[in-house]
Amino acid sequence: DIVMTQSPDSLAVSLGERATINCKSSQSVLSSYSNKNFLAWFQQKPGQPPNLLIYWASTRESGVPDRFSGSGSGTDFTLTISSLQAEDVAVYYCQQYYSMPYTFGQGTKLEIK
Amino acid sequence: QVQLVQSGAEVKKPGASVKVSCKASGYTFTNFLLYWVRQAPGQRLEWMGWINVANDNTVYSQKFQGRVTFTRDTSANTAYMELSSLRSEDTAVYYCARGPLEQLSYWGQGTLVTVSS
């Protein structure tokens, strides 16, 4: 199984500041056939299901604010929130869908400083 | 709009089975795979597998192989996840989810399954 490891486990950022979450996979999730990274990012708020933010490592899901962006390739990925808003407080997960079972990171809890 | 509505919370004894339903609306049910994901308290999300609603093909995570069964009823636009030989570690919220492809864009609200003697 591909192991997904996020850092940090928790993060406190001031409103309006940048938040950066990292995700590392134990194997590359870049397809040489499609040249796409099979990596997604989710946001989960308490009592709610996960909400897809980013897929193919950098494609924003419809309706997701443009302050959310994804980058990286191969085994190292980053989710960036350019200007933190109060409603962004949540746990963020990365997930690889390159190889079954499609595994998730352990989550990063984002709070307001 | 796309909706996935799951059945209500369940409390089961160790060794029992549970069957969770996921009713789809707002799209053609047979056009998309349905995935199952679970989340134990304070734990990361855990992918369980998927069912091809069109032809009933299934893929299960090795971790659950032999204990989990995905089925569907196309006449009712409903998919089911049955987990047997329950143990306390199976206490979790179980979600159904849908793509477009492997990207899980739509999720059910979740079903809490509690396993306790």
pLDDT tens track for B48-99 = 999 999 999 999 999 998 999 999 999 999 999 999 999 999 999 999 999 8
Interchain CB distance below 8 Å, A97 and B97: no
- pLDDT at residue B101 above 90? no
- List, for residues A35-58, the tens digit of each pLDDT value: 999 999 999 999 999 999 999 999
Report the alpha-carbon distance of residue A106 to residue A21 in Å, rounded.
Answer: 12
pLDDT beyond 90 at A93: yes
A vs B, Cβ pairs < 8 A, gives 49
Contact of B94 with chain A, judged by CB distance below 8 Å, is answered with no
The C-alpha R_g of chain B, in whole angstroms, comes to 13
- For B89-115, what is the mean pLDDT? 95
User: Closest partner residue to A106 among B44, B49, B103, by Cβ?
Assistant: B44
Partner residue opposite A50 with nearest CB, options B62, B63, B107: B107
Q: What is the pLDDT of residue B48?
A: 97
Please compute the mean of the pLDDT values over residues B4-32 and round it to a whole number. Answer: 97
Residue B14: strand, helix, or coil: coil
Cβ-defined contact of A49 to B105 (cutoff 8 Å): no
Look up tokens 């960036």; give the residue.
A80
Which run of H or of E encompasses A70? Answer: strand A68-73
Would the pLDDT of B117 be above 90?
yes
Nearest Cα neighbor of A99 from B6, B61, B82, B83 is B61
Chosen from B44, B65, B109 to mutate, greatest number of chain A CBs within 10 A: B44
- Confidence band (pLDDT; 50, 70, 90) for A82? very high
Report percent pLDDT > 70 for chain A.
Answer: 100
Fill in the amino acid letter for A33: Y
* Chain A residues in contact with B95 (beta carbon < 8 A): 49-50
Q: Do B107 and A55 lie within an 8 Å CB cutoff?
A: no
- Ranges of H-type helices in A53-109: none
Residue B86 CB coordination number (10 Å): 21
Pairwise CB contact (< 8 Å): A104 & B45 = yes
**Beta-strand pair B33-39/B45-52:** antiparallel
Check B49 against A97: CB less than 8 A apart.
Answer: no
Provide the shortest C-alpha distance from residue A39 to chain B (in Å): 9
DSSP H helix total and E strand total for chain B:
0, 11
Q: Looking at the predicted structure, is the pLDDT value of residue B27 above 90?
A: yes
- What is the rounded average pLDDT of the residues A8-37? 97
Cβ–Cβ gap A49/B46 under 8 Å: no
Cis, peptide link before residue A49, omega less than 30° from 0: no
Residues in chain A: 113
